[in-house]
Structure 1
Amino acid sequence: MPAKMDAAELSRMLGDWAQPGRLLPEALAAGLLELIDAGFAPAGSVLPAQRDCAAALGVSRGTVGAAFADLEARGYLASTVGSGTRVRSGRAAPATDGRLFSFTHSAPGVIDLSTGALPASEVARQVLTAGVSGLDAYLDTDGYFPAGLPVLRQAIADRLTRDGVRTVPQQVLVTNGAQQATYLALRALVSPGDLAIVEDPTYRGGLEALRLLGARVQGVPVGPGGMDLNLLGHALDRRPAVLYCQTGIHNPTGTTTDHDHRAEIGARAVEAEVPVIEDCCSYDLTRGGGVARTLAGHVDDDLLVMIGSLSKLFWGGLRVGWIRAGRSRIRGILELRKAEDLATSVMSQLLATRLLGRAEEARKERRRMLASRLSSTVRVVREVFPGWRWESVRGGTGLWIDSGGDVLALAEAAKRAKVRLAPGPSFSPHDGQRTMLRLPLWHEPDVLEEALGRISAHE
Structure 2
Amino acid sequence: MARAEHVDSAALARLLGGWRADDMPLPHALADALDELVAGNVLVEGAALPPQRALAAALGVSRGTVAEAYAELAARGRLTSRQGSGSRVRRDRSAGGGDHVVDGRLASFGSTRRLAELDLSSGALPALSLVREAVSAVDLCELDVYLAGDGYYAAGLPRLRAVVAEQYRAQGLPTEADQILVTSGSQQAVWLCASSLVTPGDEVLVEEPGYRGAIEAFRTAGARLTAVPVRADGLDLDHLDRVARRAALLYCQPAAHNPTGISLPAAARERLSEIVGRHGLLTIEDRSCADLVLDDRGVRPPLPDPPGPGLVIRIGTASKLLWGGLRVGWIRAERPMIKRLTQAKAALDLAAPVLDQMVTAELLTQADRARRERTRRLRAHLADAVAVLAERRPAWRWTPPSGGTALWIDTGTDAVALAERARRRGVLVTAGPAFSPANAQRSRIRLPFWRPVDQFAQAVDLLE
- TM-score, normalising length: structure 2: 0.93
1:339 counterpart = 2:352: no
- Tell me the secondary structure at the aligned position of residue 331 of structure 2: strand
Q: Which residue of 2 aligns with 1:316?
A: 324
Q: Residue 104 of structure 2 is aligned with which of 78, 86, 101? A: 101
Q: Residue 182 of structure 2 is aligned with which of 174, 181, 194? A: 174
Aligned residues: 454
Pairwise CA distance, 1:98? 6.1
| CA deviation string 1:362-411 (max 9, x = no partner) | 00000000000000111112222221111111111110100000000001
Q: CA 1:109 to 1:64, structure 2 compared with 1: closer, same or farther past 3 Å? A: closer
Pairwise CA distance, 1:356? 0.7
d(CA) in 1 for partners of 2:217 and 2:150? 31
- Which residue identity does 1:410 align to in structure 2? L
Pairwise CA distance, 1:186? 2.0
Q: CA 1:388 to 1:266, structure 2 compared with 1: closer, same or farther past 3 Å? A: same
Q: Which residue of 1 aligns with 2:427?
A: 419
- Tell me the secondary structure at the aligned position of residue 192 of structure 1: coil
Q: Which residue of 2 aligns with 1:188?
A: 196
Q: Residue 282 of structure 1 is aligned with which of 262, 266, 289? A: 289
Unaligned runs of at least 5 residues, structure 1? none
Q: Residue 155 of structure 1 is aligned with which of 153, 157, 163? A: 163
Q: Which residue of 1 aligns with 2:54?
A: 52
d(CA) in 1 for partners of 2:116 and 2:232? 36
- Which residue identity does 2:48 align to in structure 1? V
Pairwise CA distance, 1:2? 7.2
Instruction: Tell me if the contact between 1:97 and 1:208 (Cα under 8 Å) persists in the aligned partners.
Output: no
Q: CA 1:159 to 1:420, structure 2 compared with 1: closer, same or farther past 3 Å? A: same
d(CA) in 2 for partners of 1:163 and 1:261? 18
Pairwise CA distance, 1:108? 5.8
Instruction: Tell me if the contact between 1:9 and 1:97 (Cα under 8 Å) persists in the aligned partners.
Output: no
Pairwise CA distance, 1:323? 0.1
Pairwise CA distance, 1:454? 2.5
- Tell me the secondary structure at the aligned position of residue 216 of structure 2: helix
Unaligned runs of at least 5 residues, structure 2? none
- Tell me the secondary structure at the aligned position of residue 197 of structure 1: strand
- Which residue identity does 2:426 align to in structure 1? K
Q: Residue 136 of structure 1 is aligned with which of 131, 144, 149? A: 144
> Structure 1 stretch 446-455 or stretch 123-132: which is displaced more?
123-132
Q: Residue 233 of structure 2 is aligned with which of 225, 240, 253? A: 225
- Which residue identity does 1:355 align to in structure 2? L
d(CA) in 1 for partners of 2:317 and 2:116? 31
RMSD, matched Cα? 2.2
Pairwise CA distance, 1:293? 2.8
Q: Which residue of 2 aligns with 1:18?
A: 20
Q: Residue 124 of structure 2 is aligned with which of 117, 127, 145? A: 117
Instruction: Tell me if the contact between 1:183 and 1:206 (Cα under 8 Å) persists in the aligned partners.
Output: yes
- TM-score, normalising length: structure 1: 0.94
Q: How does 1:182-331 map to 2 (within 5 A)?
A: 182-238=190-246, 240-287=247-294, 288=296, 290-298=298-306, 300-331=308-339
d(CA) in 1 for partners of 2:35 and 2:450? 36
Q: Which residue of 1 aligns with 2:87?
A: 85
d(CA) in 2 for partners of 1:129 and 1:11? 44
d(CA) in 1 for partners of 2:9 and 2:139? 47
1:76 counterpart = 2:78: yes
Instruction: Tell me if the contact between 1:102 and 1:114 (Cα under 8 Å) persists in the aligned partners.
Output: no
Pairwise CA distance, 1:193? 1.4
Q: CA 1:97 to 1:405, structure 2 compared with 1: closer, same or farther past 3 Å? A: farther
d(CA) in 2 for partners of 1:143 and 1:327? 23
